[in-house]
Structure 1
Amino acid sequence: MANIATAAVLTERLLLVALACALCGQYAVSFGAVWMAEWSVTARLTIQELVTLGAIILIGLLWTRSRLGLQLPSTAVAKAVWVSVLLILTLIVFGAVAILRQGVPVLELALAPFLGFGVNPSFLKWALQLFAGFALVLPALGGGGSLARAANEFAPPRLDAVRQTSFLIVVFVFILTVFSSFLFVVLVPADQAPLWASTPLSGVAHHLNLPALVNGLVIVLVLAAAFLMLVPSAHAALEDTEQLLRRLSARGALPEQLAPRAPSGGSTTGSLNAAAAAAMLVTFVSGAQVSWLSRAYGIAIAAALLLKIAAILRLRTTHREPQPFHVPFNLRLGRREIPVGLTVVGSVVGLSALAMLLLGDIPSIAAASLICGLGVSMAVGRKGSRSAVADQDAPFELLTSPDVSLGQVDVRPDNVLVAVRHPHSLAHLVGALQAASDQDVVVVTIRLLGTDEEAAEGAGSTPDERYLFSRVVALTERYGRPVRLLIVPAENVFDGVIAVALRLHSAEVYVGESSTLSADEQARLLGEIWDRAEKPRSQQLRLVVYRNSGRTDAYHLGAHPPSLTPGDLDLIHRVWLEAVKAVGPEVHHHEVVRAALTQMEQQLTGPQREEALAVIRNVARPADELAAAVRVRDYSRLRGLVRNRHANDLAAVLTQLGLEDQVIVFRILPRKEAAAVFQYLSREQQETLLKAMAQEDVAALLNNMAPDDRTM
């Protein structure tokens, strides 16, 4: 099915290149037919041969521009399209004025197709004609390539921008097709309609009954509008075809000769040559007939759309998490949601394509055969080929720089920095998106120098980095939060994260739970780097470690106000009362704290260091936190407290717990970690613990110990 879907997209792109170039040839020939008839070289050719020649020449020009790397700026292309839209709207306005002058019964003509529904006695034939008529409209709707290309230029989340763009496209297509078709039917005489069927806008322009000078100007503007609209479409479709051929070659479905890159960069020579040659072949075989190409193009659109709908229906059953967008008109029955709207769209498109095939339409049958043939050939080519993923350009904006500043990333101070590394461990990103409120969010991944940089080409991104950020962008779409994406080379992850936080003046850093370090150890390492860094004294940073269980631990890096308990405040107040009695009322609470800390600092730097550390250890008592978690049976928190702690440290903490609490902690620990901690206990402590544990726990504990440590 994947091969057929790829073949459908490839066929649709090739037919669009041929159709757009053939239309340009038709408009050019219709404009200059009089002069071509007087030139001896072109006078020997028929009109259709001239159109075919012009279309092939245009494909060659597009191929030459791509080979030379002469790319037009996207802004220039957008301006050209908008100019074309304005010219076509101007033509429609002139046509509407001409209709009003002639007194044409607009309402009767508009309702004529609906009033004639009951004339045909055969319902089946009427239904086939109805769906076939819809199939003929599919080329006007297009394959969605322009919308997909525009979506890549939007900053995530893209959903709102894509909705607005799609609405504008629908409105434009409706105005262009409906109004221009109506003007063609009304203004162009029936006996001349076949002559202008391939260039309806030129037909309308020739029958506006305007003064000769104005009419000639309108005809020239119509030609310009056609080229401004169709040439960018043909060029974009040719580029899409080249990229698709290159990816298929990289995956082994097509010969590897299509993959080498051109010396000028950008497109690849083999795939570009193949794409241009295939487009010329399709143009030559079809005779550049617009009606033939448009019907084949409609079938290709229908096939690609049907396969996309089938994939979406399949994903709705396999991915049940909330999605940022659903096709409207869904029917909910209990817990099950039936996609009525999506099914109706697929049914209409499928029946339309089937109607064209049942009516024996040769272009439709040819397009369907081409899709099947390409799909089978790609399936055969992929057998035995390497399983490789084609390298593709990132569909989002990435900033890769060792020197990051606010001006480069364009974020406000006090932003939220999220460090990501693994594409399947992004729970902390979700937590940051939900907690960020109105703060900017920056997502950064650290490229380790000497390790990750080998996979990168220059300052570009690696396939792993692009896949990682594709998962990030999917989450931002789901939660509707814009983010900035950043790649920073650094010696290690901790140095890189702190460097970015300092440059961007971040207020918070979100990280995921490490598989090798405890949350306290992560905070300690980041805190040491933060303390060593040069920074404004007013800048503060809060670290949030998001655990796999969903619990978060927050740490303030560097100098920050401590979190004091009511007991701590009561202790400060009691000391202050004693100081007031001896010194006087001029003593304040903060002076008592400063005096105590000054004395502690002198002890830590003098001969009383060990005594001061003993006091700190006695006050800290990490065993109290473990005992509190055991007491309230908060086992998820208990697992987080013992996770990634060194066996020697954990054994020292366990000795401060009661025997029952020790047993519970040992049952929480994985067997290998429990065995490692057990080895650091004294003989007496080991014997006491073994007597309190169940027999099966003892057997598991001993089986995971080293043989030399099993003898008591």
Structure 2
Amino acid sequence: MAVTVKPIQPTGLNQSHPQALFGKQTTAIVVTTGMLAFISFWRASAIVLCDLASTSYYIGGIVEQACGRSAPYFILAVMLFSYAVRAVYVESCSMFTRGGVYRVVKEAMGPTLAKISVSALMFDYILTGPISGVSAGQYLVGLINELLKLAHSGIILPPDFSAAFFAIAVTVYFWHQNILGIEESSGKAMRIMQVTTVMAVIMIAWCGITMAVRGAHLPPFELRFTADSLGWLANFPAARTIGAIGILIAFGHSILAMSGEESLAQINREIETPKLKNLLRTGLVIFLYSMLLTSLVSFFAVMIIPDSVRMSQYGNDLIGGLAMFMVGPLWARLALRVFVVFVGFLILAGAVNTAIVGSTGVLTRVAEDGVLLDWFRHPHKRYGTNYRIVNLVAGLQIATIVLSRGEIYVLGEAYAFGVIWSFVFKTLSVLVLRYREKYKRLWRMPLNLRWFRPGGQDFPLGLALTFLVLLLTAVINLFTKKVATISGVGFTLALFVMFEISERFNGHVEHVYGEEPEKFNLELVEEGEVDPVHLGLAAQHKRLIAIRDPGNLTHLHRYLSEPDDAELIAMTVRAERGLASSEGAQVFTDHEEKLFSKVVKVCEDHGRAVTPLVAVSNDQIYAIARMAYLLDVEEVVMGVSERFHPDVQLENFAMHWGSLGDSERHIKVRVLSDTRDIRAEI
């Protein structure tokens, strides 16, 4: 949030009346995107898990249909392997706070491969909504049909058609919500995961009791592929055996259990300080939760639901079917199934919203880089949202639902294309950046071997092995997933061509990604409302740090490195000479846009919230003192001036603070640099 305030009277006049000294104020300008709010690792975990945990509702049926009763073993293997893939994302986030696929691939291998990788990622995002919506519909329709059967009704809803209709309705609802600008908050995600955790605990405990009473055996480790699951390898004998190729095929059919990993890179910028430590905690929470929920549910379904009905009746509704085959009275099992469907609706519908939000965010980022036509970024006249991008995303999702006709298996097969190739490009890019050594790494993926030669560097064995597994899986999927290969390659090429045409149409304006200015939305407020309440500064302790040069924020970096929970106000002063008013001037200059974009980036890196502020004045130090006074700040931090000695800075500030006329108010002042930390209390 940035506020512009304009005093037009020079300092030194009428100092006995501070209000007159402050002079006339212009209308304040609030810059909403400049306001950062950071969340705990628990909330960050909840947001990612709302995407990841949704796969537990449909992954078991998709993989078993592809490779038989051994599906749970491969889902478990993917969940274990996900820790390595997550480590790749953690390393990239330690280099770039905004460490998504597009940013990392562009830095490592250039803009062309970056556009290809983000095109594949968009295929993943576009399909997340349809598969989650259709899965939610399948669970709801399954429950309705079960209740109709118990009521001896002859009415049966067609599962696929009804699920597709439900998915379209949910997509339209969240399309409208995103046009309004209402996105799922971390608080809502946290509540959804709390309810999901309750369901998971009940399911695990009840399944344990059921197996103890009835007895159970682990599913056999065997591969039974269908012609559809083998694709173009159907006539290749080695593909049907438990050998390297067969295991790799089954692993490829299970890889979509990791969908949602990219959400970790998207949410990294929101994680509070200490950012890296909380990022590692987030990764651990996600790993443990997905292991317990996704893997165990797959094993329980095969061990408890009879083979005769599992895939024929509950293939798209495994958790619902699991509830119906527990020990206990019918009413209790029906109640559990209703609870399962309720939780499934929450988490799967949330995944539909996350897909629209994620897709919009990715396309907005590439649009800011000049790769997508500026026409797409035109804000809604009433709500200010990127409605044209939202319309594009929602239209593609609805078209996908219609083309798939509500078949979960078809959607799942296509879904895996974007998942695996985005992982391949991401891992390769991080591997390339290891050798370029352009960026300082606060954390590296484990398993690094030191070469025994003078001046040698570590060999990233962990990264190399992860990339090799992902590449082999991606290549084998090209031959076994016909629908994914045809549709995924077609979609990726079409989007890539659109990016190329858009970039040429835009004149191929080149940006240094991550350094382009933030897009600030301006909101006008009334005069005299520059106070802590109006700016939302509710904390007891507040610090104001003066900034001016986007290339010299050393004092901001040093201050943010110190442990402190005070609210931070980053303020710059626009110099204005004499008594002339600049009410007709530009309300937010290019320099201020660049400066606050850099401030936002620095604060993101440190995981600290900030409220930017601009004041127009003919005296910089007076403006800082006056705004500190108005906002009830207890400490002001300034960088070392190029023109004045720090002692002179402190004396000048003390003089202006005294002129404000309140001798009872005290304030702390610091002049800070890499080598200096001069403090005073006035």
Confirm or deny a common fold (TM above 0.5).
yes
C-alpha separation between the residues in 2 aligned to 1:401 and 1:310? 52
TM-superposed CA distance for 1:79, in Å, is 1.5
- Give unpaired runs (5+ residues) of structure 1: 115-119, 395-399, 559-712
Whole-angstrom CA distance in 1 between matches of 2:584 and 2:217: 71
The alpha carbon displacement at 1:130 in A equals 2.3
Aligned to 1:202: 320
Q: Which of the numbers 439, 445, 448 marks the counterpart of 2:571? A: 445
AA paired with 1:6? V
Match of 2:166 among 54, 58, 66: 54
Amino acid in structure 1 at the alignment position of 2:556: L
1:453–1:99: structure 2 CA closer, same or farther, 3 Å change rule? Answer: farther
Aligned partner letter, 1:144: E
Q: For the Cα contact (< 8 Å) 1:3–1:375, is it kept in 2? A: yes
The residue type paired with residue 445 of structure 2 is V
Kindly indicate whether residue 271 of structure 2 is the aligned counterpart of residue 160 of structure 1: no
Deviation per CA, 1:48-90, whole angstroms, max 9, x where unpaired?
2232222222212222333456666653443233213312331
Q: 1:10 to 1:100 in 2, by over 3 A?
A: same
Q: Once the 2 structures are TM-superposed, how far is the Cα of residue 518 of structure 1 from its aligned partner?
A: 6.4
Q: State the distance in 2 between where 1:11 and 1:446 align.
A: 43
1:181 aligns with 2:298: yes
Could you tell me which residue of structure 1 aligns to residue 377 of structure 2? 259
Which residue of the other structure, out of 330, 344, 359, is the alignment partner of 1:226?
A: 344
Displacement of 1:218 after TM fit? 1.6
- 1:212-251 equivalence runs, <5 A: 212-249=330-367
SS in 1 for 2:289: helix
Residue 383 of structure 1 corresponds to 504
- Corresponding residue for residue 403 of structure 1: 531
User: Which secondary structure does the structure 1 equivalent of 2:200 belong to?
Assistant: helix
2:140 equivalent to 1:28: yes
Tell me, in whole angstroms, the C-alpha distance in 2 between the residues paired with 1:254 and 1:510.
40
1:446 partner amino acid: T
Are the counterparts in 1 of residues 239 and 246 from structure 2 also a CA contact under 8 Å? Answer: no
Residue from 543, 552, 555 that aligns with 2:676: 552
Displacement after TM superposition at 1:314 (Å): 4.3
Query: Whose helix fraction is larger, Structure 1's or Structure 2's?
Result: 1
Against the structure 1 CA distance between its residues 442 and 256, is the aligned structure 2 distance closer, same or farther, given a 3 Å change threshold?
closer
User: 4+ residue runs of structure 1 moved beyond 6 angstroms?
Assistant: 35-39, 42-45, 120-125
For 1:381, the aligned partner's letter is: S
Summarize the alignment of residues 33-48 of structure 1 with structure 2, pairs less than 5 Å apart.
33=145, 46-48=158-160
Q: Which has the higher contact order (CA 8 A, sep 6+)?
A: 2
Given the alignment of the two structures, is residue 325 of structure 1 paired with residue 453 of structure 2, yes or no?
A: no
Task: Name the amino acid aligned to 1:141.
Answer: M
Do the aligned partners of 1:401 and 1:487 also contact (CA within 8 Å) in 2? no
Q: Which residue of 2 aligns with 1:613?
A: none
Give the match's secondary structure for 2:243. Answer: helix
Residue 650 (structure 1) aligns with:
none
Question: Which stretch of structure 1 is more off in the superposition, 123-132 or 348-357?
Answer: 123-132
Mapped partners of 2:157, 2:609: distance in 1:
58
Match of 2:101 in 1: none
In structure 2, what is the equivalent of residue 494 of structure 1? Answer: 621
Give TM-score scaled by structure 2 length. 0.67
Q: Secondary structure at the match of 2:308?
A: coil
Match of 2:400 among 282, 286, 300: 282
Say if 1:309 and 1:342, in contact at 8 Å, map to a contact too: yes
Does the 8 A contact of 2:567 with 2:610 survive in 1? yes
CA contact (8 A) 1:505 1:539 kept: no
In 2, the alpha carbon distance for the partners of 1:420 and 1:440 equals: 18
CA contact (8 A) 2:373 2:505 kept: no
1:483 Cα deviation (Å)? Answer: 6.4
Distance in 2, matches of 1:3 and 1:286, equals: 26
Distance of aligned partners of 1:321 and 1:84 in 2 relative to their CA distance in 1, 3 Å threshold: closer
| Offset of residue 368 of structure 1 | 3.5
Give 1:472's match in structure 2, choosing from 590, 602, 606.
Answer: 602
Match for 1:552: what amino acid?
R
1:192 aligned counterpart, secondary structure: helix
Moved more, 383-392 or 130-139: 383-392
- Alpha-carbon spacing, 1:411–1:30, altered in 2? closer, same or farther (3 Å): closer
Deviation at 1:6?
A: 2.3
Deviations 1:85-141 (A, max 9, x none): 3123312322221111112234xx4x8469xxxxx9889972233233333333222
Is the CA contact (8 Å cut-off) linking 1:248 and 1:390 kept in structure 2?
Answer: no
How does 1:111-190 map onto structure 2 within 5 Å? 112=221, 126-148=243-265, 150-190=267-307
Q: Which residue of 2 aligns with 1:347?
A: 468
For residues 266 and 73 of structure 1, do their structure 2 counterparts lie closer, same or farther at Cα, with a shift above 3 Å needed?
A: farther
- Aligned partner of 1:286: which letter? S
Give the letter aligned to residue 340 of structure 1.
Answer: L
CA offset digits 1:486-508 (Å, max 9, x no partner) = 43534254234334555555456
Q: Does 1:363 align with 2:484?
A: yes
| Residue 300 of structure 1: aligned partner | 418
Percent identity of equivalent pairs: 18
1:46, CA displacement in angstroms?
4.5
* Larger displacement relative to structure 2 (330-339 or 191-200): 330-339
Query: How big is the shift at 1:145?
Result: 5.0
**Aligned partners of 1:383 and 1:208: how far apart in 2?**
60
**CA displacement at 1:281 relative to structure 2:** 0.9
